[in-house]
Structure 1
Amino acid sequence: MIDFEWYRSFISIYKHQSVSAAARARFLTQPAMSQHLAALEAEVGEVLFIRAPRKMIPTDKGKELYARIVPLIENLETMTLEITHAASPTILAPIIRLGSAGEYFTKRALSRVHDLEVRFSVQFGITSALIESLQNDQLDLAIATQKLHLPGIEYTKIEEETFVIVVPFDAEVNVGEHSVEEWLNEQRWISYGLELPIIRRIWKEHFQKRPKIRPYHVMSDLRTILEAIEYGMGMSILPTYLIQESLQQQKVKVIFPDLTFTNELYAAYKIEQKQNPIYQHIIKGLKQT
């Protein structure tokens, strides 16, 4: 008789393309994972993977089996989680370890998830660090500003953020005989990093080149950059969701409104948690407009 755990191990190996990575994801030893696969292959009567260096390649039989059992296994796990949650209303809400950029969580995400029946343990950081924590099981979900194509990680788009050029409200903008690019190159810029990680996007999309500027100030927090602009310390490029209150209070203003770019934001999670109803509940909340 086939053990249900054999199927789960087979699915994990299929998704991770590695016995060792699948074992880590399932909190099993590598020998145990290999035993599950060998037992399933013996029961099926055919080889399910070709063992290549550093990679497990599914055979036609392996592909067929995966296509047939994945919907059944995922539906069964989802139903079990939903029944458990519904049958235990008095149990404390689950704790979800969520990673995000601090400014996005504070100014955008928090308003969308504050009323969910979930307890959050929030970690702030840049996308690369958050995805690494997700891979190492230190986070359950991460809000990512880009897709890093790593084994075992899947992404669901949440929304698009729009970035604009922001200056102090009383700043004078007089391009004169200069081109817009020349004028921008001469200004005092506040950057998120020395390599101009956000400023470069404007130049790439609108001028098809790298900017010829050196940042006057470097501040690795968009909220701090906004306050610096309010104090007249320079100009920068910020997401529109962050500056609404400052615009209304006439502390800053947007210049050259045609010079913008959009960036996609994603919820990132382990592939095996794709059908987790709690994760889907949070992602649905994050997608609210």
Structure 2
Amino acid sequence: MIDFEWYRSFISIYKHRSVSAAAKARILTQPAMSQHLAALEAEIGEPLFIRAPRKMIPTDKGKELYTKIVPLIENLENTTLEMLHSSSGNGRAPVIRIGSPVEYFTIRTLPKIRDLNIRFLSQFGVAGTLLEKLEKDEVDLILTTQKMQQQGIEYQKLEDEVFVAVVPPSYETSAGNDAVEIERWLNKQNWLSYGLELPIIRRYWRDHFKKRPDFQPCHVIPDLRSVLEGIENGLGMSILPTYLVEKSLQENRVKVLFPELTTENTIYVAYKVEQKNNPVLVKVLEALKRKN
């Protein structure tokens, strides 16, 4: 009698073209995955893959089986998830685990998800750390500025952040529109940075001056909201996203210099492909893609 798990392992191997990658995605050992495949092939009576170096190539029988069973299994899994989502159960809303940069989550994400009947378990970190959490199934989706090629991970673009030079209201410049003068003036200022390697500031320099910045930050503060607070208190200047500084600009606590010089940073939402039809995840993705 065929075990349902054999089919799930077969589908995972088919999608990843690798037993090891499929085992990682299913959180199983490679021997267990190989046993599932061998048992299914024995039951079918034909090989489902050609074992090539570092790659599993589906046979015609493997392609035929995949085409027939995937819609059936996805429909079964979706039905189960929908029932769990709609079930009154203990009366509590479903949970989804989300990883994100803290500033983006606080200012851009919370207003979009606040009306969802979903409980969020949030974790904060940088792009590399968040991707590791997603791979280990410690979160269900992440918001990230880096799109890394990773088997079994799907990305969707949410929006482009726009960054500008933000300074205390007292700052004045006579640099005009000349790029050389602007860079010379910027190099003389006190800089606040998210990190020693000058993230975003480095890109700003590359975009507009075609080189790397030639200075060290006066203050390193790994929280963009605190960087903004530092600018408001006259500690120096930085390159910040426009969504972060809107209120401070309205209240004249900061101002933007050289508004024509902007830098963009793409925000993506990433999740495991095997979860893309999860109705709770789908609902969150729809909310995240809405324009504020």
Q: TM-score, normalised by structure 2?
A: 0.90
Unpaired runs of 5+ residues, structure 2, are: none
CA gap 1:226/1:21 in 2 versus in 1, 3 angstroms: same
| SS of equivalent to 2:143 | strand
Q: 1:29-40 counterparts in 2 under 5 A?
A: 29-40=29-40
Unpaired runs of 5+ residues, structure 1, are: none
Alpha-carbon distance, 1:54 to partner: 4.2
1:144–1:265 CA contact under 8 A, matched in 2: yes
Aligned to 1:217: 219
Alpha-carbon distance, 1:141 to partner: 1.3
CA deviation string 1:12-51 (max 9, x = no partner)? 1233333233234324343332122123333444433333
Q: Does structure 1 residue 13 correspond to structure 2 residue 19?
A: no
Alpha-carbon distance, 1:61 to partner: 4.7
Aligned to 2:41: 41
How far apart, CA to CA, are the structure 1 residues paired with 2:240 and 2:203? 12
Aligned to 1:28: 28
CA gap 1:63/1:208 in 2 versus in 1, 3 angstroms: farther
Alpha-carbon distance, 1:220 to partner: 1.0
1:158–1:283 CA contact under 8 A, matched in 2: no
Aligned to 2:245: 243
Q: Does structure 1 residue 91 correspond to structure 2 residue 86?
A: no
How far apart, CA to CA, are the structure 1 residues paired with 2:65 and 2:183? 57
Q: 1:104-119 counterparts in 2 under 5 A?
A: 104-119=104-119
CA RMSD, Structure 1 to Structure 2 (Å): 2.2
How far apart, CA to CA, are the structure 2 residues paired with 1:60 and 1:234? 65
CA gap 1:23/1:91 in 2 versus in 1, 3 angstroms: farther
| SS of equivalent to 1:262 | strand
CA deviation string 1:144-203 (max 9, x = no partner)? 111121222211222221111111122112216852222222222111111111111112
CA gap 1:172/1:275 in 2 versus in 1, 3 angstroms: same
CA gap 1:26/1:179 in 2 versus in 1, 3 angstroms: same
CA gap 1:46/1:160 in 2 versus in 1, 3 angstroms: farther
How far apart, CA to CA, are the structure 2 residues paired with 1:39 and 1:92? 40
Q: Does structure 1 residue 145 correspond to structure 2 residue 152?
A: no
CA gap 1:165/1:72 in 2 versus in 1, 3 angstroms: farther
Aligned to 2:204: 202
Q: Does structure 1 residue 267 correspond to structure 2 residue 247?
A: no
Aligned to 1:70: 70
How far apart, CA to CA, are the structure 2 residues paired with 1:213 and 1:19? 49
Aligned to 2:154: 154
CA gap 1:6/1:203 in 2 versus in 1, 3 angstroms: same
| SS of equivalent to 2:34 | helix
Alpha-carbon distance, 1:70 to partner: 3.3
How far apart, CA to CA, are the structure 1 residues paired with 2:206 and 2:59? 43
Identity percentage of aligned residues: 63
How far apart, CA to CA, are the structure 2 residues paired with 1:149 and 1:60? 28
CA gap 1:266/1:70 in 2 versus in 1, 3 angstroms: farther
Aligned length: 289
How far apart, CA to CA, are the structure 2 residues paired with 1:85 and 1:96? 11
CA gap 1:205/1:59 in 2 versus in 1, 3 angstroms: farther
Q: TM-score, normalised by structure 1?
A: 0.91
1:94–1:118 CA contact under 8 A, matched in 2: yes
Which residue identity does 2:18 align to in structure 1? S
1:147–1:266 CA contact under 8 A, matched in 2: yes
Q: 1:164-179 counterparts in 2 under 5 A?
A: 164-175=164-175, 179=181
Which residue identity does 1:189 align to in structure 2? W
How far apart, CA to CA, are the structure 2 residues paired with 1:261 and 1:69? 47
- Is the deviation greater in 75-84 or in 95-104? 75-84
